[in-house]
A and B are shown apart, each in its own frame.
Chain A
Amino acid sequence: MSTILYQPPADPALLSQPPQRPWRHKPRSFTTAVALAVIVPAVITAALFFLSPIPGAIVLVVVYFPLQLLASGIAAWATRGVRGIADSVIIVNAIGATVFSFVVLASLIGSLIVRGLRALSAHFVYQNSVYISPSTPLDYGGIGHALIGTILVVAVATAVAVPIGIATAIYITEVRGRAVPYVRFFVQAMSGVPSVVAGLFILTIAVSTGWFSQNAFAGGLAYAILMLPTVARTAEEVLKLIPDELRTGALALGSTRARTVMRVVLPAAKTGIITAILLGIARVIGETAPLLLAAGNNDGTVLNPFGQAIASIPVYIFNNVAVPYPDAVARAWGAALVLMILIAVLFTVARFLGRGRVGRAK
């Protein structure tokens, strides 16, 4: 008896079979079971929704979800036996959680856009709130002063947090001293500081030393506390991606450590560092509590960061919520929309830069 050699099949159809996915063909019983499991609860719920006096959204959730669980469980039991029930429970719950999150997000973004657009106009962006009271119609007044305030506060925060954050990252990746695990521990701990505590801290210093009072500078310091961990950690990741050959090459040419870092490593990591900064800004720009405490509020435009209390977008929103005048509330939504757009822009630019960096870092 000898071996069998390969022979292409005689039937040409077999020779050129197309690729198939037979595992996707479910038996009729399976598809009917799934269809029933989806349709029946929906029908029952719709019937209750239209016929009963219980308010709508509640019925949908309280009635539909358990019905769906039950129906899917039965369908699973009929097609796969007892083993399938646990799976169907998980799948229904997982889909439910996804839908829930999606609904919440849609509601948030949708309301921002719909309600915010009402107040949004050209003058909204550059006028301030002097002479504006909550009942003033939307044709007057705006967030110009708040925008400037936010910009000043963020500028101070960036000026403080970025050098320190990058220095921290340099310490961890370049200097690599013995205290690296402690530094990372403290940076991690610092990221857990609540924003209100940061504001309180700066306020305490201001009040007890009398060096400064509520102003953009104080607010910026409070922001810096919150921004530092983000900048430091992102910068650390970025610096770690820079290949060692760059460093050893520079050192071999006689460069000092300091010059290697400043002239070679940091420029190579430029886009990543900018990403770190943008992410840090995006993280703090919406924080209200620190500014409530450390920067206060002002209806007028303030340009001196070391001067008096200053407005900012989050505080502007804060002051216009729960006010019984619809125009004031509309202003709050408008400012919220502007803030969200700013944040979205920051993240988009950071992500865009991040993609480019991944391509170039090698």
Chain B
Amino acid sequence: MSTAEFEEVAMMESDLLAPRAIAVSELRAENVSVWFGKRKVLENVNIDFPKNTVTALIGPSGCGKSTFIRTLNRLHELIPGAALAGSVLYEGKDIYSSDIDPVHIRLQIGMVFQKPNPFPSMTIRGNVLSGLKLSGMKRDNHDDIVEQTLTAAGLWNEVKDRLNHAAGDLSGGQQQRLVIARALAVQPSVLLMDEPCSALDPASTLKIEETIRQLSKEVTIVIVTHNMQQAVRVADNTAFFLAQEGEPGHIVEQGLTTDIFGQPQDQRTLDYVNGRFG
């Protein structure tokens, strides 16, 4: 067999072996560069988020991970001075094309923030349903939605008797799970999470990681995290972001979590996952 034929067979075999290549890409960023005013903060980000997987975005703080995920649900443009280039494809279509309603995108691609932010003036039940009210979605099975989303978020048993209590009375971890339920109530197919556990205690963190693993069977999840052990625990794939001084950030290396942590190719990745910086 010639070298070329050998390589071709090797590629086909590796294609068959790599589960990632078979999974359908749901969300994909192609050559995304991001600016705030004149300052370029992200450069040529290319990444795939296959359906029903969990992808972790890791890297030292300030390298643009949070900014990047905000381009995925069109929250970035709400910041004054924001600009970008490239395209974000959701189910094959560029979400930035002029005939797409950003509200529609945000319903399909939900977001959970770092600091739990339930609406303090609403009850627990009110919070879960608030996404429906805010976006104008009409559903008539409110009780089912409340129970299903709170169960999926792992909070149902703890609050089922006090759905009409104020949301502010819950602990931090509970509030964050409430926020997850709220995000799920509008039935997104992608859930973006920006350091969802960094403001929480370890016990709540583990509960939420458990929730994430369960959720990923139905929902594609992208999670930004500073906690590398967390990435190992929950993520199928990982992308390592880095920004040198004064330079825009970019993805240094991405792939299966086991590969990124086990056999990274780039020295910087190796240093970061071994805690030598960041």
Q: Which residues of A contact B (CB under 8 A)?
A: 1-6, 8-9, 14-15, 17-23, 25-27, 80, 82-83
Contact = CB atoms under 8 A, between A and B. Distances in A.
Contact of A1 (B17, B82, B264): B17
Interface in B62-101: 74, 77, 82-86, 96-99, 101
Given A22-B96, A23-B96, A1 B265 contact: no
Contact of A3 (B44, B102, B135, B264): B264
Interface string B253-274: 1111001100111100100000
Contact of B259 (A2, A19, A27): A2
Given A8-B44, A9-B44, A21-B77, A1 B14 contact: yes
Contacts, number: 75
Nearest to A80: B101
Interface residues of B, number: 40
Nearest to B269: A3
A83 B252 CA distance: 42
Query: A-side binding surface: helix, strand, loop or mixed?
Result: loop
Given A2-B255, A3-B254, A20 B83 contact: yes
Given A3-B263, A14-B31, A21-B84, 10 more contacts: A1-B18, A1-B256, A2-B255, A2-B263, A3-B265, A4-B253, A6-B252, A6-B253, A9-B44, A19-B33
Query: B-side binding surface: helix, strand, loop or mixed?
Result: mixed
Interface in B236-261: 250-256, 259-260
Contacts of A25: 98
A17 B20 contact: no
A23 B254 contact: no
* Highest count of chain B CB atoms <10 Å: which of A4, A5, A19, A82: A19
Interface string B95-114: 01111011100000000000
Given A2-B265, A14-B31, A20 B85 contact: yes
A5 B98 contact: no
B98 A22 contact: yes
Given A1-B17, A5-B265, A9-B31, A23 B136 contact: no
A46 to B, nearest CB: 32
Contact of B33 (A5, A17, A27): A17
B99 A17 contact: no
A1 B264 CA distance: 12
Nearest to A2: B259
